[in-house]
């Protein structure tokens, strides 16, 4: 029988407490490997689910407050007391309790599968995010590549939702989403290449570790030799990320004034809230990728130098989350300031401007790395 080497090798504790005694009694040879795997997956899922829910709820509350203050009003103020902090909780409960409506004539399978697929992919994206040295669910070698490819699966969910809803507006939303995401994948992927060339790795963990210099301020955007590539590539990445996450001014898939609500017109209750959660989860993931590749990930003066341990990990999570949320805030800021672009202008922007520009940047980054490699001794 296969046993997990870690648990199998661990000797039985001489003086156990109730938990260890129990475990020893039930599994004298240590836990079987499949149970470790299942438990690990369950714990990871619960952690991600909890984190995503909290982050998404906080983002929704923040979005409403940001929108409120930009629009000379206050936003939620009542629920929970302090500045309506419990508004998202109340909304979540309300959505949970609502009737689950599947419209007549809908493709029931697609209609029901779509929200699950969309939310599932959003959760899967969190796997590769480097929150702290000791807190990353999986250090995927192809981290960046993994994130882009997983985030594209969301589009399939959106198309399923639009097609399954038996509503013309939904189909329009789905088709726009398909066209838009397919065209913005290219600049998004290409704009991630300059940092990848700089780090020489696709792993987000490696990228973060390489930005630990200068007391934790040696971020890619601050590097004296690379900032002139880093800043434009970040701008390109950010614009493409906005389009990828269907945020304004690229929110054509659900453009309220044209398509009523786009692909989720017919959704209500908990299924609708899945789409909602996904939007904010995807925003956070895209911002987190930006924070990890351009803004040093968890590195920050004072945190980077701390001795390894739980406290450091906790502070790293805080730094990383705050950096990501700042970028999320910028996304909100953009949304409440700009009008929406038309679909043909979205395509023009993507293909005629962003793609060539990102190609130029990739080329420049490659050339720069080549010459830096030629003269390693002269330069820092």
Q: Does position 258 bind other proteins by CB under 8 A?
A: yes
- The Cβ of residue 336 has, within 10 Å, a number of other Cβ atoms equal to 14
Q: Does position 107 bind other proteins by CB under 8 A?
A: no
- Residues with Cβ within 8 Å of 114's Cβ and at least 6 positions away in sequence, in order, are 157, 158, 160, 161, 164
**Closer of 72 and 374 to other proteins (Cβ):** 72
**Closer of 188 and 248 to other proteins (Cβ):** 248
**Closer of 167 and 358 to other proteins (Cβ):** 167
Cα torsion for 201, 204, 207, 208, to the nearest 10°?
-160
The DSSP annotation for 250-285 comes to S-GGG-HHHHTTGGGTT--HHHHHHHHHHHHHHHHH
Q: Does position 178 bind other proteins by CB under 8 A?
A: no
**Binding residues among 300-359 for other proteins as defined by CB under 8 A:** 336-345
Q: Does position 251 bind other proteins by CB under 8 A?
A: yes
Return the ∠ at Cα 130 (arms to 250 and 54), rounded to 5°: 65
Q: Of 44-52, 70-78, 124-132, 364-372, which segment contacts other proteins by CB under 8 A? A: 70-78
Nearest-approach distance from CB 236 to other proteins, in angstroms? 18
Backbone angles phi, psi at 84, to 5 degrees: 60, 40
Looking at 248, 316, 332, 365, which residue binds other proteins (CB under 8 A)?
Answer: 248
Q: Which of 108, 60, 111, 102 is nearest to 84 (CA)?
A: 60
Q: Which of 167, 169, 199, 160 is nearest to 294 (CA)?
A: 199
Q: CA-CA distances (angstroms) from residue 24 to 9, 28, 167? A: 13, 5, 58
**Binding residues among 117-176 for other proteins as defined by CB under 8 A:** 168-169, 172, 175
**Closer of 305 and 345 to other proteins (Cβ):** 345
Q: Of 31-39, 65-73, 95-103, 197-205, which segment contacts other proteins by CB under 8 A? A: 65-73
Backbone angles phi, psi at 73, to 5 degrees: -140, -175
Q: Does position 212 bind other proteins by CB under 8 A?
A: no
Q: How far apart are CA 166 and CA 111, in angstroms?
A: 9
**CB 39 within 8 Å of CB 265:** no
Q: Which of 180, 148, 177 is nearest to 163 (CA)?
A: 177
Nearest-approach distance from CB 165 to other proteins, in angstroms? 14
Q: How many residues bind other proteins (CB under 8 A)?
A: 27
Nearest-approach distance from CB 63 to other proteins, in angstroms? 12
**CB 236 within 8 Å of CB 357:** yes
**Closer of 81 and 339 to other proteins (Cβ):** 339
**Binding residues among 260-279 for other proteins as defined by CB under 8 A:** 260
Q: Of 248-256, 269-277, 278-286, 354-362, which segment contacts other proteins by CB under 8 A? A: 248-256
**Closer of 121 and 255 to other proteins (Cβ):** 255
**Closer of 312 and 335 to other proteins (Cβ):** 335
Q: What is the contact surface with other proteins in residues (CB under 8 A)?
A: 67, 70-73, 168-169, 172, 175, 248-249, 251, 255-258, 260, 336-345
């Amino acid at each position: 029988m296969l046993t997990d080497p870690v648990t199998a090798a661990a000797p039985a504790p001489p003086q156990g407490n109730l938990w260890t005694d129990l475990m020893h009694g039930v599994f004298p040879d240590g836990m079987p490997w499949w149970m470790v795997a299942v438990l690990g997956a369950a714990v990871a899922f619960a952690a991600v689910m909890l984190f995503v829910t909290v982050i998404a709820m906080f983002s929704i509350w923040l979005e409403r407050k940001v929108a409120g203050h930009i629009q000379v009003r206050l936003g939620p103020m009542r629920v929970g007391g302090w500045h309506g902090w419990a508004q998202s909780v109340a909304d979540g409960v309300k959505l949970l309790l609502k009737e689950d409506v599947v419209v007549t004539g809908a493709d029931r399978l697609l209609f029901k599968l779509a929200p699950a697929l969309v939310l599932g992919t959003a959760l899967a994206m969190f796997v590769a995010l480097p929150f702290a040295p000791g807190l990353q669910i999986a250090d995927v070698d192809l981290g960046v590549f993994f994130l882009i490819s997983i985030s594209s699966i969301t589009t399939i969910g959106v198309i399923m939702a639009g097609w399954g809803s038996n509503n013309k507006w939904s189909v329009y939303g789905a088709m726009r989403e398909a066209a838009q995401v397919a065209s913005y994948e290219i600049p998004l992927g290409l704009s991630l290449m300059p940092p990848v060339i700089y780090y020489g790795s696709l792993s987000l963990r490696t990228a973060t570790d390489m930005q630990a210099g200068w007391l934790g301020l040696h971020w890619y955007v601050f590097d004296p030799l690379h900032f002139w590539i880093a800043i434009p590539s970040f701008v390109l990445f950010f614009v493409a990320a906005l389009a990828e996450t269907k945020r304004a001014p690229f929110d054509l898939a659900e453009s309220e004034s044209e398509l009523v609500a786009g692909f989720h017109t017919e959704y209500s209750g908990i299924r609708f809230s899945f789409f909602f959660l996904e939007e904010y989860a995807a925003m956070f993931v895209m911002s987190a990728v930006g924070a990890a590749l351009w803004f040093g990930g968890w590195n920050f003066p004072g945190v980077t130098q701390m001795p390894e341990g739980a406290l450091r990990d906790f502070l790293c999570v805080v730094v990383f989350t705050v950096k990501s949320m700042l970028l999320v805030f910028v996304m909100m800021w953009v949304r409440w300031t700009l009008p929406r672009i038309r679909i043909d202008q979205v395509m023009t922007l993507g293909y005629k401007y962003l793609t060539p520009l990102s190609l130029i940047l990739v080329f420049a980054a490659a050339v720069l790395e080549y010459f830096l490699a030629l003269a390693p001794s002269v330069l820092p």
